[in-house]
Chain A
Protein backbone atom coordinates (compact mmCIF):
# COMPACT_ATOMS: atom_id res chain seq x y z
CA UNK A 1 0.00 0.00 0.00
CA UNK A 2 1.50 3.28 -1.01
CA UNK A 3 1.47 6.53 0.92
CA UNK A 4 -1.21 7.93 -1.36
CA UNK A 5 -3.43 4.93 -0.65
CA UNK A 6 -3.00 5.44 3.06
CA UNK A 7 -4.00 9.08 2.90
CA UNK A 8 -6.89 8.19 0.64
CA UNK A 9 -8.16 5.67 3.15
CA UNK A 10 -7.85 8.09 6.03
CA UNK A 11 -9.60 10.86 4.13
CA UNK A 12 -12.32 8.52 2.92
CA UNK A 13 -12.92 7.40 6.47
CA UNK A 14 -13.01 10.99 7.70
CA UNK A 15 -15.40 12.02 4.94
CA UNK A 16 -17.81 9.20 5.71
CA UNK A 17 -17.51 9.45 9.48
CA UNK A 18 -18.05 13.19 9.65
CA UNK A 19 -20.84 12.90 7.05
CA UNK A 20 -22.55 10.49 9.39
CA UNK A 21 -21.90 12.68 12.44
CA UNK A 22 -23.78 15.50 10.74
CA UNK A 23 -27.05 13.72 11.43
CA UNK A 24 -26.38 12.55 14.94
CA UNK A 25 -24.96 15.60 16.65
CA UNK A 26 -27.24 17.88 18.64
CA UNK A 27 -25.43 21.10 17.97
CA UNK A 28 -26.35 22.68 14.65
CA UNK A 29 -23.05 24.49 14.42
CA UNK A 30 -21.20 21.26 14.92
CA UNK A 31 -23.36 19.62 12.29
CA UNK A 32 -22.49 22.31 9.73
CA UNK A 33 -18.83 22.07 10.44
CA UNK A 34 -18.85 18.27 10.39
CA UNK A 35 -20.25 18.61 6.91
CA UNK A 36 -17.42 21.01 6.14
CA UNK A 37 -14.90 18.44 7.36
CA UNK A 38 -16.51 15.88 5.10
CA UNK A 39 -16.15 18.25 2.16
CA UNK A 40 -12.56 19.01 3.01
CA UNK A 41 -11.73 15.31 3.16
CA UNK A 42 -13.35 14.85 -0.24
CA UNK A 43 -11.35 17.83 -1.50
CA UNK A 44 -8.14 16.14 -0.36
CA UNK A 45 -9.15 12.97 -2.19
CA UNK A 46 -9.72 15.09 -5.30
CA UNK A 47 -6.23 16.48 -4.90
CA UNK A 48 -4.87 12.96 -4.66
CA UNK A 49 -6.76 12.13 -7.84
CA UNK A 50 -4.92 14.93 -9.57
CA UNK A 51 -7.74 17.46 -9.67
CA UNK A 52 -5.52 20.18 -8.22
CA UNK A 53 -7.94 22.94 -9.02
CA UNK A 54 -11.24 21.35 -8.09
CA UNK A 55 -9.94 19.99 -4.81
CA UNK A 56 -8.71 23.35 -3.61
CA UNK A 57 -11.71 25.18 -5.02
CA UNK A 58 -13.96 22.82 -3.09
CA UNK A 59 -12.29 24.10 0.10
CA UNK A 60 -13.19 27.72 -0.45
CA UNK A 61 -16.64 27.10 -1.88
CA UNK A 62 -17.57 24.84 0.98
CA UNK A 63 -15.95 26.92 3.71
CA UNK A 64 -18.17 29.82 2.68
CA UNK A 65 -21.26 27.70 2.19
CA UNK A 66 -20.90 25.91 5.50
CA UNK A 67 -20.22 29.16 7.31
CA UNK A 68 -23.45 30.51 5.91
CA UNK A 69 -25.13 27.21 6.70
CA UNK A 70 -24.05 27.54 10.33
CA UNK A 71 -25.31 31.14 10.45
CA UNK A 72 -28.72 30.14 9.20
CA UNK A 73 -28.81 27.09 11.42
CA UNK A 74 -28.27 29.25 14.45
CA UNK A 75 -30.69 31.85 13.22
CA UNK A 76 -33.66 29.66 12.62
CA UNK A 77 -33.34 26.46 14.62
CA UNK A 78 -34.71 26.14 18.08
CA UNK A 79 -32.04 25.07 20.53
CA UNK A 80 -29.29 25.63 17.95
CA UNK A 81 -26.46 24.44 20.13
CA UNK A 82 -28.20 21.27 21.18
CA UNK A 83 -28.13 22.16 24.85
CA UNK A 84 -31.09 19.86 25.27
CA UNK A 85 -30.51 16.70 23.28
CA UNK A 86 -33.05 16.18 20.55
CA UNK A 87 -33.92 14.01 17.65
CA UNK A 88 -35.95 15.68 14.98
CA UNK A 89 -36.50 12.95 12.45
CA UNK A 90 -39.45 11.40 10.71
CA UNK A 91 -39.67 8.11 8.81
CA UNK A 92 -36.35 7.24 10.36
CA UNK A 93 -36.35 3.53 9.50
CA UNK A 94 -37.45 4.03 5.94
CA UNK A 95 -34.81 6.69 5.40
CA UNK A 96 -32.08 4.52 6.86
CA UNK A 97 -33.16 1.66 4.65
CA UNK A 98 -33.17 3.90 1.59
CA UNK A 99 -29.69 5.09 2.46
CA UNK A 100 -28.33 1.58 2.88
CA UNK A 101 -29.99 0.38 -0.32
CA UNK A 102 -28.60 3.34 -2.24
CA UNK A 103 -25.13 2.65 -0.87
CA UNK A 104 -25.17 -1.02 -1.85
CA UNK A 105 -26.70 -0.40 -5.24
CA UNK A 106 -24.16 2.26 -6.12
CA UNK A 107 -21.29 0.21 -4.73
CA UNK A 108 -22.44 -2.73 -6.79
CA UNK A 109 -22.39 -0.55 -9.86
CA UNK A 110 -18.88 0.53 -8.93
CA UNK A 111 -17.63 -2.99 -8.32
CA UNK A 112 -19.34 -4.81 -11.16
CA UNK A 113 -19.58 -1.99 -13.66
CA UNK A 114 -17.06 -1.77 -16.43
CA UNK A 115 -15.29 1.55 -16.10
CA UNK A 116 -12.11 2.71 -17.73
CA UNK A 117 -9.35 2.45 -15.19
CA UNK A 118 -6.36 4.24 -16.61
CA UNK A 119 -4.50 7.13 -15.08
CA UNK A 120 -4.88 10.38 -16.90
CA UNK A 121 -2.03 11.59 -19.14
CA UNK A 122 0.85 12.80 -17.00
CA UNK A 123 1.44 15.96 -19.03
CA UNK A 124 -2.14 17.14 -18.59
CA UNK A 125 -2.64 20.45 -16.83
CA UNK A 126 -6.16 20.25 -15.42
CA UNK A 127 -6.50 24.01 -14.90
CA UNK A 128 -5.47 24.95 -18.42
CA UNK A 129 -7.70 22.36 -20.04
CA UNK A 130 -10.57 23.53 -17.91
CA UNK A 131 -9.96 27.15 -18.84
CA UNK A 132 -9.76 26.32 -22.54
CA UNK A 133 -12.94 24.32 -22.27
CA UNK A 134 -14.75 27.18 -20.57
CA UNK A 135 -13.77 29.65 -23.23
CA UNK A 136 -14.21 27.19 -26.06
CA UNK A 137 -16.74 24.41 -26.38
CA UNK A 138 -18.50 24.98 -23.10
CA UNK A 139 -18.86 28.70 -23.40
CA UNK A 140 -22.60 28.34 -23.37
CA UNK A 141 -22.47 26.53 -20.03
CA UNK A 142 -20.31 29.28 -18.68
CA UNK A 143 -22.50 32.17 -19.80
CA UNK A 144 -25.75 30.47 -18.92
CA UNK A 145 -24.31 29.80 -15.49
CA UNK A 146 -23.88 33.54 -15.25
CA UNK A 147 -27.50 34.17 -16.10
CA UNK A 148 -28.67 31.46 -13.73
CA UNK A 149 -26.60 32.92 -10.93
CA UNK A 150 -28.03 36.35 -11.66
CA UNK A 151 -31.53 34.95 -11.45
CA UNK A 152 -30.59 33.30 -8.18
CA UNK A 153 -29.19 36.51 -6.77
CA UNK A 154 -32.29 38.46 -7.66
CA UNK A 155 -34.56 35.74 -6.35
CA UNK A 156 -32.62 35.51 -3.12
CA UNK A 157 -32.75 39.22 -2.48
CA UNK A 158 -36.40 39.47 -3.36
CA UNK A 159 -37.33 36.58 -1.11
CA UNK A 160 -35.23 37.28 1.91
CA UNK A 161 -35.18 41.04 2.00
CA UNK A 162 -37.36 42.73 4.52
CA UNK A 163 -37.48 46.07 2.78
CA UNK A 164 -39.05 44.88 -0.41
CA UNK A 165 -39.68 47.21 -3.30
CA UNK A 166 -43.37 47.18 -2.50
CA UNK A 167 -43.03 47.86 1.19
CA UNK A 168 -42.59 45.55 4.09
CA UNK A 169 -42.19 41.96 3.04
CA UNK A 170 -44.43 40.76 5.79
CA UNK A 171 -46.96 43.54 5.70
CA UNK A 172 -50.33 42.16 6.57
CA UNK A 173 -49.08 38.85 7.82
CA UNK A 174 -50.23 37.80 11.22
CA UNK A 175 -48.01 37.20 14.20
CA UNK A 176 -47.01 33.57 14.39
CA UNK A 177 -48.64 31.22 16.81
CA UNK A 178 -45.93 29.71 18.90
CA UNK A 179 -46.51 28.40 22.35
CA UNK A 180 -43.56 29.18 24.57
CA UNK A 181 -41.51 26.04 24.64
CA UNK A 182 -43.75 24.26 22.21
CA UNK A 183 -43.45 23.37 18.58
CA UNK A 184 -44.15 26.03 15.99
CA UNK A 185 -47.75 26.24 15.11
CA UNK A 186 -48.71 26.20 11.49
CA UNK A 187 -52.43 25.94 11.49
CA UNK A 188 -54.33 26.64 8.34
CA UNK A 189 -55.87 29.85 9.57
CA UNK A 190 -52.62 31.68 8.99
CA UNK A 191 -52.64 31.01 5.31
CA UNK A 192 -53.80 33.58 2.92
CA UNK A 193 -52.36 36.27 5.09
CA UNK A 194 -48.92 35.91 3.57
CA UNK A 195 -49.58 38.31 0.76
CA UNK A 196 -46.08 39.69 0.88
CA UNK A 197 -44.38 36.62 -0.48
CA UNK A 198 -46.71 35.08 -2.98
CA UNK A 199 -43.98 35.14 -5.57
CA UNK A 200 -42.49 31.86 -4.52
CA UNK A 201 -45.51 29.64 -4.88
CA UNK A 202 -43.93 27.49 -7.50
Chain B
Protein backbone atom coordinates (compact mmCIF):
# COMPACT_ATOMS: atom_id res chain seq x y z
CA UNK B 1 0.00 0.00 0.00
CA UNK B 2 1.53 3.24 -1.09
CA UNK B 3 0.29 6.50 -2.48
CA UNK B 4 0.67 5.14 -6.01
CA UNK B 5 -1.41 2.01 -5.48
CA UNK B 6 -4.09 3.96 -3.65
CA UNK B 7 -4.30 6.47 -6.49
CA UNK B 8 -4.51 3.66 -9.04
CA UNK B 9 -7.47 2.15 -7.22
CA UNK B 10 -9.04 5.60 -7.10
CA UNK B 11 -8.38 6.06 -10.81
CA UNK B 12 -10.04 2.75 -11.59
CA UNK B 13 -13.13 3.75 -9.60
CA UNK B 14 -13.27 7.09 -11.39
CA UNK B 15 -12.88 5.36 -14.75
CA UNK B 16 -15.71 2.92 -14.09
CA UNK B 17 -17.86 5.72 -12.73
CA UNK B 18 -17.23 7.79 -15.83
CA UNK B 19 -18.24 4.89 -18.01
CA UNK B 20 -21.45 4.50 -16.02
CA UNK B 21 -22.29 8.18 -16.01
CA UNK B 22 -21.81 8.48 -19.76
CA UNK B 23 -23.46 5.27 -20.84
CA UNK B 24 -26.49 4.79 -18.65
CA UNK B 25 -29.84 5.85 -20.01
CA UNK B 26 -31.65 5.82 -16.75
CA UNK B 27 -31.26 8.87 -14.58
CA UNK B 28 -30.88 6.89 -11.37
CA UNK B 29 -28.19 4.68 -12.90
CA UNK B 30 -26.44 7.79 -14.12
CA UNK B 31 -26.33 9.00 -10.55
CA UNK B 32 -24.73 5.73 -9.58
CA UNK B 33 -21.94 6.54 -12.00
CA UNK B 34 -21.49 9.97 -10.44
CA UNK B 35 -21.40 8.42 -6.99
CA UNK B 36 -18.69 6.03 -8.09
CA UNK B 37 -16.62 8.92 -9.46
CA UNK B 38 -16.97 10.76 -6.16
CA UNK B 39 -16.03 7.55 -4.39
CA UNK B 40 -12.74 7.54 -6.28
CA UNK B 41 -12.21 11.23 -5.55
CA UNK B 42 -12.71 10.66 -1.83
CA UNK B 43 -10.25 7.81 -1.82
CA UNK B 44 -7.71 9.93 -3.65
CA UNK B 45 -8.20 12.79 -1.19
CA UNK B 46 -7.72 10.55 1.81
CA UNK B 47 -4.69 8.99 0.10
CA UNK B 48 -3.08 12.40 -0.33
CA UNK B 49 -3.93 13.30 3.23
CA UNK B 50 -2.45 10.08 4.59
CA UNK B 51 0.82 10.42 2.74
CA UNK B 52 1.25 14.17 2.98
CA UNK B 53 3.47 13.72 5.98
CA UNK B 54 1.85 16.55 7.91
CA UNK B 55 -1.66 15.25 8.47
CA UNK B 56 -3.19 18.64 7.72
CA UNK B 57 -6.94 18.54 8.34
CA UNK B 58 -7.79 20.09 4.97
CA UNK B 59 -7.40 16.68 3.35
CA UNK B 60 -10.11 15.29 5.56
CA UNK B 61 -12.21 18.38 5.11
CA UNK B 62 -12.04 17.93 1.35
CA UNK B 63 -13.42 14.42 1.75
CA UNK B 64 -16.25 15.71 3.87
CA UNK B 65 -17.05 18.34 1.29
CA UNK B 66 -17.13 15.66 -1.39
CA UNK B 67 -19.53 13.67 0.76
CA UNK B 68 -21.72 16.72 1.17
CA UNK B 69 -21.71 17.22 -2.58
CA UNK B 70 -22.71 13.59 -2.95
CA UNK B 71 -25.55 13.91 -0.47
CA UNK B 72 -26.86 17.08 -2.08
CA UNK B 73 -26.54 15.63 -5.56
CA UNK B 74 -28.48 12.56 -4.49
CA UNK B 75 -31.20 14.38 -2.64
CA UNK B 76 -31.79 16.87 -5.44
CA UNK B 77 -31.42 14.20 -8.08
CA UNK B 78 -34.08 12.03 -6.56
CA UNK B 79 -36.38 14.95 -5.97
CA UNK B 80 -35.99 15.75 -9.64
CA UNK B 81 -36.76 12.16 -10.54
CA UNK B 82 -39.95 12.33 -8.49
CA UNK B 83 -40.98 15.61 -10.06
CA UNK B 84 -40.27 14.40 -13.59
CA UNK B 85 -42.01 11.11 -13.01
CA UNK B 86 -45.03 12.88 -11.62
CA UNK B 87 -45.36 14.77 -14.83
CA UNK B 88 -44.25 12.24 -17.37
CA UNK B 89 -43.92 8.87 -15.74
CA UNK B 90 -40.41 8.40 -17.00
CA UNK B 91 -37.04 8.12 -15.41
CA UNK B 92 -34.84 8.29 -18.48
CA UNK B 93 -32.28 10.99 -19.02
CA UNK B 94 -33.91 11.79 -22.33
CA UNK B 95 -37.10 12.66 -20.52
CA UNK B 96 -35.28 15.44 -18.76
CA UNK B 97 -34.75 17.13 -22.09
CA UNK B 98 -38.35 18.16 -21.98
CA UNK B 99 -37.36 20.54 -19.23
CA UNK B 100 -34.80 22.39 -21.29
CA UNK B 101 -37.22 24.93 -22.65
Contacts and interface: CB of A to CB of B under 8 A. Distances in A.
Interface of A: 4-5, 8, 12, 15-16, 19-20, 22-23, 28, 31-32, 35, 38-39, 42, 45-46, 48-51, 53-55, 57-58, 61, 65, 68-69, 72-73, 76-77, 88-92, 94-96, 98-100, 102-103, 105-107, 109-111, 115-121, 124, 126, 129-130, 132-134, 138, 141, 145, 148-149, 152-153, 155-156, 159-160, 162, 169-170, 173, 176, 178, 183-186, 188, 190-191, 193-194, 196-197, 200-201
A155 B63 CA distance: 24
- Interface size classification for chain B: 35 or more
Given A92-B23, A117-B51, A186 B98 contact: yes
Contacts of B70: 61, 65
Interface centre among A48, A76, A155, A183 (most CB of B within 10 A): A76
B17 to A, nearest CB: 7
A196 B101 CA distance: 15
A186 B4 contact: no
Given A102-B15, A132-B57, A39 B89 contact: no
B32 A31 contact: yes
Given A89-B23, A120-B52, A197-B83, A72 B28 contact: yes
28 contacts: A4-B1, A12-B5, A15-B39, A16-B16, A28-B28, A35-B35, A45-B9, A45-B43, A51-B50, A54-B46, A54-B64, A76-B91, A88-B26, A90-B23, A94-B22, A95-B21, A126-B60, A133-B61, A152-B72, A156-B78, A156-B79, A160-B78, A160-B79, A160-B83, A176-B87, A184-B95, A186-B97, A196-B86
Contacts of A65: 35, 70-71, 74
Nearest to A113: B7
Contact of A190 (B20, B57, B98): B98
A191 to B, nearest CB: 5
A130 B65 CA distance: 13
Given A115-B7, A118-B51, 8 more contacts: A8-B1, A46-B43, A58-B42, A65-B70, A103-B11, A106-B7, A110-B3, A200-B83
9 tightest A-B CB contacts, nearest first:
A103-B15, A99-B19, A110-B7, A118-B53, A106-B11, A95-B23, A176-B89, A95-B22, A184-B90
Contacts of B75: 152-153, 156
Contact of B24 (A45, A89, A116, A170): A89
Nearest to A51: B46
B15 to A, nearest CB: 3
A185 B75 CA distance: 25
- B interface secondary structure, majority: helix
Nearest to B51: A117
A74 to B, nearest CB: 10
B60 A19 contact: no
